[in-house]
Amino acid sequence: MSRQSVAKAHQKIQELSWEPAYHEPVSHYGTDYTFQKAQKKDPLKQVLRSYFPMQEEKDHRVYGASDGAIRGNMFRQVQERWLEWQKLFLSIIPLPEISAARAMPLLFRTVPNPELHNGQAIQMIDEVRHSTIQQNLKRLYMNNYIDPAGFNSSLRNFQSDYCGTIGRQFAEGFITGDAITAASIYLTIVAETAFTNTLFVAMPAEAAANGDYLLPTVFHSVQSDESRHISNGYATLLMALADEGNHQLLARDLRYAWWNNHRVVDAAIGTFIEYGTKDRRKDRESYAEMWRRWIYDDYYRSYLVPLEKYGLEIPHDLIEESWNQIWNKGYVHEVAQFFATGWLANYWRIDPMTDKDFEWFEYKYPGWYDKYGAWWENYNRLSMPNGHKPIVFEDVDYEYPHRCWTCMVPCLVREDMVMAKVDGQWRTYCHDMCRWTDEVAFRPTYQGRQTPNMGKLIGHREWETLYHGWNWADVVSDMGFVRDDGKTMVAQPHLDLNPDKMWTLDHLRKCPPLASPNVLLNEMSDDERTAFAARYVRGGPAGRAPADA
Amino acid sequence: MGDKHVVRFEPVGIEIEVDEDQTILRAAAEQGVMLMHGCKEGQCSSCKSFVLDGEDIELDRYSTFALPEYELDEGYTLLCRAHPYEDLTIELLNYDEDMIRSGLPIQDRVAEVVAITPVTHDLRHLVLRLTDPGELKFFPGQYVDILVPDSEASRSFSMANTTSRDSGQLEFVIKVYPGGVFSEFLDTRLNVGDRLQLSGPFGVFTLRDNPGARIVFVGGGAGMAPILSLLRSMAERGIDRPATYYYGARTHLDLCFDEELRALQDVLPGFKYVPALSEPAEDAEWDGEVGLITDVVRRHEPDLAGADAYVCGPPPMVEAAIPLLEGLGVVTKHIYYDKFTTTGDAGDSKVLEAPTR
């Protein structure tokens, strides 16, 4: 059997005129990288001739599955514990997709290789498609799920609550700083090559185990586009590596991108998979097990390490430290506990954990119960309003954490918190790597070298600052997380939709005002601040006060 | 274990053997062929490839988004899920030419001398056989380091054959220098049956895919070995790109593998072998080219635009050949070369300097 060569057809695409002939385009995003040596070939031979029929076919399948889910009443059979977390996830995920689409044009100008522009253009189209089918999925949930509140407002929610802002920081990472740092290293090399497997392979499997077969359909459709993106990243990385002057910047960017992705993706996806599932079969892989297989064994050892001999400085220490965070320091558990502590500031419902969950956690993460068990029992006890306040105000041996100014996840592994005065403001960071990212990496010079294209991290990065001193009822109203009756909250720390069991703005009005840890930090005297930091790092695990306090 | 089948990857021309129990991706990784992949779960389609020849493939469970049925019918497959049940030719759609060969595991092996044959007055054809079973995988054009017995030193030699798969053998062409660390040992003390330690493979002097483009080989002295390996490999694989091999020697007594190279002209219709003598003896009959090999190339090749060039030989030859080839229109990045030096002090036979690119 002989067939027509795809490679030859792809060759013809190179003959199109990609480079502008009659004008010099304006560059908004520059790069400090240089590309002088041999150009790389586009490693993936994708031609539009086969692209559009393929995507059309994939879209048809997604529509078919949507139709089947409606007719099969899937939305009423799905585990609510799982679907509630999708209110958060699906509010965030279309935005990284759009950011990724926006990132591709940054590469057209900065990577001088017409051969690669075809792949980048197709990736841009991919990302728009992903965003569209994900938003459509959200619309179907909203129309058919028993509790649409939270699905109906998620574009707004995305950027206004204590979790979504973390997602926005991640999404903007694709277009933050130097064009190569953002669109190539952060997006394609680290986010798409390392972390998409947990996102797009593990999440769908978990969704299916919880009775949702529509999300897997949509996300398999997305994941099957990932090959182009992995290839785009690889080709650009190899081109950058060929120029020795880039090695210093590559080392910097790989450190930043690796750490930031670990902080955000492991926090979010780890929580969804471990705390959003009802599937407690012992043979189900834990997030830690998946991480070890996909990210450590496959990405780190079989993708990154072979590049070392080409001059890529690999952040071995950070990869080991990420694993240390996940396995020894309970990173995912700390995050899930924080999300549940702050339930009143969100737009979904968080199901309490049961004995069956406890048993699974103890089996997969020995020692889990001693650290987190008592707190989750308290969460369960305090879940229905009964004269008490939400758990964050009650005495359950949990100290509300400070935010990390860089990754915007709080400083949950207390011993790792560091503090620095940067740009005239005292900031806390969840780990010294996040301090380094803000104070060293995103600066106009790096190790004595001019890096004008990095820009710097700005904005109200600590969500609590926005509402410092506000009454909680006003905070929740302002965010719009109130149900149609004008008083019942969208968020609930349980899954019971009986109005008598649900929290309202009236409950919140009796609570103390919201205090921003960062505002308080900057109001402290130097001595007070030193004492605060010394105490903070002695706290934990599970948010406990220092043993001697 | 099931039966094994040969899977050949185009357009890179790499062949691997795959057990029916293995996926093609896995077998490739074990044999040092770095193929693009992502999830290894049949979902991301990074390893999607096109089956040019052969049909009998079984796939493990995969997402039909990654490989819809109509693509399967058209001939696409997912290498991370595919088990071959016959010999296959697969067109890679997603690969990086330089990286694909970067994954051959470097092995430390022991080999036994099978033959030491003079092919000229100062070139020796050394044949080794690996003592432990199993091949030493290498790509034609690569080299190994051989440890000089009773010394700390090792010297690099390119293989002249194309594979050690069936025979377990490695062939070399080594120039004997008076006082050379390895070559003197080779000439005076090494006997059939002796054992040598070696490690490898190394090097990137491998044939690059560039369908249809002309190839110019320029060689001298022991530079014969890797070029012979590339030419033999082209013959085995039926790569009939227009190619000319300019080989420079001093006198006709310095020519070797002459018959084989002339015979290759029949196997590869586009191939021409042009030996040239810089000091032809007056009494000997020689109606071939005369002069420095670079001058011969200059006379024969007015325009080499679009061609690939492979250069291997003594440093002065390589250093003269590169600017010449550039001047004739070969794009700099398409000049591939191995330069070996004779280290002065050691008077050593051949230290192959890893190419700088």
Residue A88 has pLDDT above 50, yes or no: yes
Is residue B208 included in any domain, yes or no?
no
Indicate the residue of B36, B43, B97 with minimum beta-carbon distance to A41. B97
Contact A309 B333 (CB under 8 A): no
Q: Cα A367 to chain center, whole Å? A: 27
Distance from CA of B35 to the nearest CA of A (A): 10
| Whole-Å CA distances, B210 to B52, B97, B213, B234 | 18, 10, 6, 13
Structure tokens at B210: 């560039």
SS3 content of chain B, % helix, strand, coil (to 5): 20, 35, 45
pLDDT confidence of residue A545:
95
Measured CA to CA, the distance from residue B339 to residue B111 in angstroms comes to: 25
Question: Taking Cα atoms as reference points, which of A158, A366, A372, A187 lies closest to residue A265?
Answer: A187
Model confidence band, residue B100 (pLDDT cutoffs 50, 70, 90): confident
As a whole number, the mean pLDDT across chain B is: 86
Measured CA to CA, the distance from residue A468 to residue A367 in angstroms comes to: 37
Query: At B118, which helix (H) or strand (E)?
Result: strand B107-118
Measured CA to CA, the distance from residue A163 to residue A161 in angstroms comes to: 6
Which residue of chain A has the CA closest to B74? Answer: A3
Phi then psi for A511, rounded to 5 degrees? Answer: -90, 160
Amino acid at A398: Y
pLDDT tens digits, one per residue of A372-427: 999 999 999 999 999 999 999 999 999 999 999 999 999 999 999 999 999 999 99
Is residue B23 included in any domain, yes or no?
yes
| Beta strands at B4-10 and B88-92: parallel, antiparallel or unpaired | parallel
As a whole number, the mean pLDDT across chain A is: 91
Indicate the residue of B34, B39, B54 with minimum beta-carbon distance to A197. B39
Chain B contact for A14, CB < 8 A? no
Indicate the residue of A54, A217, A238 with minimum beta-carbon distance to B99. A238
| Placement of tokens 């690119």 in the chain | B357
DSSP per-residue codes, A89-132:
HHHHTHHHHHHHHHHHHHHHHHS--HHHHHHHHHHHHHHHHHHH
Residues of B in contact with A54 (CB under 8 A): 68, 71
| Total number of domains constituting chain A | 1
| Whole-Å CA distances, B299 to A101, B288, B336 | 54, 13, 21
pLDDT confidence of residue B207:
84
Tell whether B142 and B85 lie within a shared domain: no
Query: At B130, which helix (H) or strand (E)?
Result: strand B123-130
Tell whether B23 and B86 lie within a shared domain: yes
pLDDT confidence of residue A17:
53
Model confidence band, residue B352 (pLDDT cutoffs 50, 70, 90): very low
Structure tokens at B22: 């293995």
pLDDT tens digits, one per residue of A252-279: 999 999 999 999 999 999 999 999 999 9
Indicate the residue of B50, B54, B65 with minimum beta-carbon distance to A221. B65
Measured CA to CA, the distance from residue A497 to residue A499 in angstroms comes to: 6
Tell whether B112 and B96 lie within a shared domain: no
Q: Which of B100, B131, B151 is the last residue of a domain?
A: B100
Q: Which residue has the higher pLDDT, A38 or A30?
A: A30
Domain that holds residue A160: 47-464
pLDDT confidence of residue A464:
93
In a 3-state reduction of DSSP, which class is residue B348?
Answer: coil
Contact B75 A61 (CB under 8 A): no
Structure tokens at B91: 């067109």
Model confidence band, residue A25 (pLDDT cutoffs 50, 70, 90): low
Please, what is the Cα angle at A491 between A486 and A496, to 5 degrees? 95
Indicate the residue of A6, A38, A193 with minimum beta-carbon distance to B333. A38
Residues of A in contact with B103 (CB under 8 A): 306
Q: Which of B55, B65, B308 to mutate to test the interface with A (most CBs of A within 10 A)?
A: B65
Residue B344 has pLDDT above 60, yes or no: no
| Placement of tokens 């079969």 in the chain | A281
Phi then psi for B168, rounded to 5 degrees? Answer: 70, 15
Contact B94 A40 (CB under 8 A): no
Which residue of chain B has the CA closest to A226? Answer: B44
Is residue A191 included in any domain, yes or no?
yes
Indicate the residue of B39, B71, B94 with minimum beta-carbon distance to A43. B94
Tell whether B58 and B88 lie within a shared domain: yes
Indicate the residue of B40, B46, B102 with minimum beta-carbon distance to A226. B46
Average pLDDT over residues A103-130: 89
Residue A369 has pLDDT above 90, yes or no: yes
Tell whether B310 and B336 lie within a shared domain: yes
Distance from CA of A253 to the nearest CA of B (A): 22
Q: Which of B46, B61, B210, B333 to mutate to test the interface with A (most CBs of A within 10 A)?
A: B46
> Do residues A214 and A74 touch, judged by C-beta distance below 8 A?
yes
Within 8 A by CB and 6+ apart from B115, the residues are B125, B126, B127, B192
Chain B contact for A198, CB < 8 A? no
Contact A1 B53 (CB under 8 A): yes
Residues of A in contact with B50 (CB under 8 A): 3, 6
Measured CA to CA, the distance from residue B35 to residue B49 in angstroms comes to: 10
Average pLDDT over residues A18-41: 70
Phi then psi for B83, rounded to 5 degrees? Answer: -110, 125
> Do residues B147 and B190 touch, judged by C-beta distance below 8 A?
no
pLDDT tens digits, one per residue of B17-40: 999 999 999 888 878 788 888 778
Contact B48 A5 (CB under 8 A): no
Distance from CA of B171 to the nearest CA of A (A): 28
Chain B contact for A118, CB < 8 A? no
Domain that holds residue B24: 4-100
At B276, which CATH number? 3.40.50.80
Is residue A194 included in any domain, yes or no?
yes
Q: Cα A392 to chain center, whole Å? A: 24
Q: Is the ipTM of this complex over 0.90?
A: no
Contact A227 B11 (CB under 8 A): no
Q: Which of A39, A44, A225 to mutate to test the interface with B (most CBs of B within 10 A)?
A: A44
pLDDT tens digits, one per residue of B101-117: 766 777 789 999 999 99
| Placement of tokens 């279309």 in the chain | A94
Q: Within a 10 A sphere around the Cβ of A278, how many other Cβ atoms?
A: 16
| Beta strands at A425-429 and A418-422: parallel, antiparallel or unpaired | antiparallel
Q: Which of A54, A224, A305, A310 to mutate to test the interface with B (most CBs of B within 10 A)?
A: A224
Tell whether B145 and B266 lie within a shared domain: no
| Placement of tokens 């296959």 in the chain | B88
pLDDT confidence of residue B343:
42
Contact A44 B63 (CB under 8 A): no
> Do residues A453 and A178 touch, judged by C-beta distance below 8 A?
yes
> Do residues B10 and B89 touch, judged by C-beta distance below 8 A?
yes
Is residue A385 included in any domain, yes or no?
yes
pLDDT tens digits, one per residue of A482-491: 999 999 999 9
Residues of B in contact with A46 (CB under 8 A): 93
DSSP per-residue codes, B194-235:
-EEEEEEEE----PPP-TT--EEEEEEGGGHHHHHHHHHHHH
Question: Taking Cα atoms as reference points, which of B230, B254, B239 lies closest to residue B160?
Answer: B230
Is residue A539 included in any domain, yes or no?
no
Q: Which of B80, B100, B120 is the last residue of a domain?
A: B100
Contact B45 A306 (CB under 8 A): no
% of chain A at pLDDT higher than 70: 95
Q: Which of A17-26, B66-75, B213-222, B244-253 is predicted with the least confidence, judged by mean pLDDT?
A: A17-26
> Do residues B238 and B172 touch, judged by C-beta distance below 8 A?
no
Tell whether B61 and B84 lie within a shared domain: yes
Residues of B in contact with A234 (CB under 8 A): 36, 96
Indicate the residue of B94, B98, B103 with minimum beta-carbon distance to A231. B94
> Do residues A32 and A450 touch, judged by C-beta distance below 8 A?
yes
> Do residues A337 and A353 touch, judged by C-beta distance below 8 A?
no
Measured CA to CA, the distance from residue B265 to residue A59 in angstroms comes to: 54
Measured CA to CA, the distance from residue B230 to residue B350 in angstroms comes to: 19
Distance from CA of A330 to the nearest CA of B (A): 26
Is residue B44 included in any domain, yes or no?
yes
Q: Which of A291-300, A345-354, A469-478, A500-509 is predicted with the least confidence, judged by mean pLDDT?
A: A291-300
| Whole-Å CA distances, B21 to A338, A341, A446, B67, B84 | 47, 50, 51, 21, 9
% of chain B at pLDDT higher than 90: 52
Tell whether B219 and B345 lie within a shared domain: yes
Contact A230 B36 (CB under 8 A): yes
Q: What are the strands of the beta sheet with B14-19, ordered from one edge?
A: B14-19, B4-10, B88-92, B48-53, B76-78
At B131, which CATH number? 2.40.30.10
Query: At B157, which helix (H) or strand (E)?
Result: strand B154-158
Tell whether B239 and B335 lie within a shared domain: yes
Q: Which residue has the higher pLDDT, A87 or B354?
A: A87
Chain A contact for B43, CB < 8 A? yes
Chain B contact for A232, CB < 8 A? no
pLDDT confidence of residue B11:
83
Average pLDDT over residues B215-219: 96
Cα radius of gyration rounded to whole Å, chain B: 22
At B45, which CATH number? 3.10.20.30
Chain B contact for A4, CB < 8 A? no
Contact A238 B96 (CB under 8 A): yes
Is residue B240 included in any domain, yes or no?
yes
Chain B contact for A19, CB < 8 A? no
In a 3-state reduction of DSSP, which class is residue A462?
Answer: coil
Chain B contact for A9, CB < 8 A? no
Measured CA to CA, the distance from residue A275 to residue B78 in angstroms comes to: 33
Contact B44 A61 (CB under 8 A): no
Tell whether B227 and B344 lie within a shared domain: yes
Contact A197 B38 (CB under 8 A): yes
pLDDT tens digits, one per residue of B253-282: 899 999 999 999 999 999 999 999 999 877
Measured CA to CA, the distance from residue A169 to residue A178 in angstroms comes to: 16
At A317, which CATH number? 1.10.620.20
Question: Taking Cα atoms as reference points, which of A305, A309, A277, A306 lies closest to residue A290?
Answer: A277
Structure tokens at B93: 């759609």
Distance from CA of A518 to the nearest CA of B (A): 41
| Total number of domains constituting chain B | 3
Residue A66 has pLDDT above 50, yes or no: yes
Please, what is the Cα angle at A166 between A151 and A488, to 5 degrees? 40
> Do residues B203 and B143 touch, judged by C-beta distance below 8 A?
yes
| Whole-Å CA distances, A255 to A50, A202, A301, A318 | 37, 25, 16, 7
> Do residues A364 and A327 touch, judged by C-beta distance below 8 A?
no
Contact A43 B36 (CB under 8 A): yes
Residue B194 has pLDDT above 50, yes or no: yes
Residues of B in contact with A1 (CB under 8 A): 52-55, 75
Residue B295 has pLDDT above 90, yes or no: yes
pLDDT tens digits, one per residue of B144-169: 889 888 777 778 899 999 988 788 89
Within 8 A by CB and 6+ apart from A264, the residues are A166, A167, A169, A170, A407, A408, A409
Chain B contact for A230, CB < 8 A? yes
Is residue B207 included in any domain, yes or no?
no
Q: Which residue has the higher pLDDT, A9 or B48?
A: B48
Tell whether B279 and B242 lie within a shared domain: yes
| Whole-Å CA distances, B355 to A35, A237, A244, B107, B204 | 21, 21, 17, 20, 7
Tell whether B183 and B239 lie within a shared domain: no
Measured CA to CA, the distance from residue A340 to residue B142 in angstroms comes to: 59
Measured CA to CA, the distance from residue A319 to residue A307 in angstroms comes to: 15
- Size of chain B, expressed as the number of residues it contains: 357
Measured CA to CA, the distance from residue A205 to residue A215 in angstroms comes to: 9
Measured CA to CA, the distance from residue A207 to residue A272 in angstroms comes to: 10
Residue B346 has pLDDT above 90, yes or no: no
| Placement of tokens 């070399």 in the chain | B172
Average pLDDT over residues B134-138: 83
Contact B46 A227 (CB under 8 A): yes
Indicate the residue of A5, A226, A309 with minimum beta-carbon distance to B38. A226
Measured CA to CA, the distance from residue B222 to residue B125 in angstroms comes to: 10
Which residue of chain A has the CA closest to B53? Answer: A1
Measured CA to CA, the distance from residue B125 to residue B294 in angstroms comes to: 26
Query: At A521, which helix (H) or strand (E)?
Result: helix A517-523
Indicate the residue of A61, A231, A294 with minimum beta-carbon distance to B65. A61
pLDDT confidence of residue A424:
95
Q: Which of B62, B78, B100 is the last residue of a domain?
A: B100
Phi then psi for A424, rounded to 5 degrees? Answer: 80, 10
